Structure 1
């Protein structure tokens, strides 16, 4: 069980995996801080947590902005205290998957959300954790970090590999100062991000995918174990492997100039 009263900050907490992670940690006694872009969605999650007897603070913030991150951490410290558990869950994928057509701005935006924001949030919580000799940082990467392809796209795979590397760096550098750095690598998961794919999976295709609550349970396990134990990497993959060949072919041509597509 999460240490009662621990302060857990979760990014991307307004929906999907972040929502489920926040609810589970709150049920175990953590005081959760919900970070995301949409205040209304965060308030809804906070209301659910409070209705279940938990404590939640909802803060809308742009986690790619250093000033927003600083303000969120300042308010968290003022109202709840220093962060004991940071869960970097927020993610973003590009609409163009093939690097041949990928706009530079989309590349930068995906790296900002999936990699730079994790660095900024980690940098913000590290001093308190290292001063106290204890702390847990969990980052939701992806199996795209290990096996990148056109489903997630070039930018997403590169960002998720980068953040996995960064978490391993934290583990190797600060483990003897009491820091647990944990990477969760989900396979294909039924979250709202799938709706933005070149070919969004049909409802029946999502049935056998990893569900948000499955990833939340993995995070909960990693956080709940005694501080002397770290699950450095957790792979959460669907048991059944679906045929994605049609998805890959559609993704190959998303964003391509009309004259370059097979129909041209």
Structure 2
């Protein structure tokens, strides 16, 4: 399929996609894949230098990217982000809520309120704030797609992930179901993706990183990104409501670390 000039028509041509946590891991791979299918991608994260690197990679591949440093848990910054995106790249057609992270404390007895609130903020409150900010624009234009990356910790919480992380990821799953039920007849597609352990740079910061064998068995960021791409490029008449992505083989024994 192509246009009169012979160029292949891509499924996201003319669309704007906003991806949070876009500097590394799942967010980075998702942004690259969405741009590869024609989307103008807006890259959001805390570390601007990483966003700039992803934007450069998108540009080198012939795509269009915009980078903005922001904290998803800050309501004012999310409102400003929605306005800035509309002016710089166009109204959001595809929102990928990917920013997230677990705290350092696994044992509830040592978990402080500050850590609880911080984990809830980036994993749950941030999803609510940004979705709320872009939803009116989607409704004005007759529809849109909201894809939120949760975790299998929403279904099977573990001490490794920690109490606030599992609770927040369960919350986002519920929030996505609410969004779908409330707005599906207004052509808002809301998808929740629940990956198992993913081999991302986040593991490097653990006090005892997972073993090489364990990491080799994990889901890769590009695997999740391909799932996001599928959800974003299906015809508007179809929505993937929920998608679980898990390693094919069982996790190998913990030979060196959690």
Which residue in the other structure is 2:251 paired with?
242
The two structures have a TM-score, normalised by structure 2, of: 0.93
How far the C-alpha of 1:27 sits from its partner, in A, is 0.2
Which residue in the other structure is 1:41 paired with?
50
Which residue in the other structure is 1:105 paired with?
114
Which residue in the other structure is 2:3 paired with?
none
How far the C-alpha of 1:143 sits from its partner, in A, is 0.2
Q: Is 2:238 the partner of 1:229?
A: yes
Question: In 2, are the aligned partners of 1:2 and 1:25 still within 8 Å (CA)?
Answer: no
Q: Is 2:98 the partner of 1:89?
A: yes
Matched length: 249
Structure 1: unaligned runs, 5 residues or longer = 252-264
Which residue in the other structure is 2:220 paired with?
211
Change beyond 3 A, Cα 1:99–1:2: farther
1:105-148 per-position Cα deviation (integer Å, ceiling 9, x unaligned):
10000000000000000000110111222100000000000000
Any idea what SS the aligned residue of 2:11 has?
coil
Which residue in the other structure is 2:5 paired with?
none
Q: Is 2:200 the partner of 1:187?
A: no
Any idea what SS the aligned residue of 1:181 has?
strand
Change beyond 3 A, Cα 1:244–1:66: farther
Equivalent-residue separation in structure 2 for 1:68 and 1:169 (angstroms)? 24
The two structures have a TM-score, normalised by structure 1, of: 0.91
Which residue in the other structure is 2:12 paired with?
3
Equivalent-residue separation in structure 2 for 1:136 and 1:69 (angstroms)? 18
Equivalent-residue separation in structure 2 for 1:69 and 1:213 (angstroms)? 26
How far the C-alpha of 1:81 sits from its partner, in A, is 1.3
Equivalent-residue separation in structure 2 for 1:148 and 1:197 (angstroms)? 18
Change beyond 3 A, Cα 1:158–1:198: farther
1:200-246 per-position Cα deviation (integer Å, ceiling 9, x unaligned):
20223211110000000000011110010000001110011115678
Question: In 2, are the aligned partners of 1:93 and 1:193 still within 8 Å (CA)?
Answer: no
Any idea what SS the aligned residue of 1:100 has?
helix
Equivalent-residue separation in structure 2 for 1:227 and 1:87 (angstroms)? 16
Which residue in the other structure is 1:23 paired with?
32
Q: Which moved more, 1:139-148 or 1:59-68?
A: 59-68
Q: Which moved more, 1:130-139 or 1:118-127?
A: 130-139
Change beyond 3 A, Cα 1:114–1:152: same
Any idea what SS the aligned residue of 2:109 has?
coil
Equivalent-residue separation in structure 2 for 1:111 and 1:43 (angstroms)? 27
- 2:80 corresponds, among 56, 66, 71, to 71
Equivalent-residue separation in structure 2 for 1:164 and 1:198 (angstroms)? 29
How far the C-alpha of 1:198 sits from its partner, in A, is 4.8
Q: Is 2:134 the partner of 1:125?
A: yes
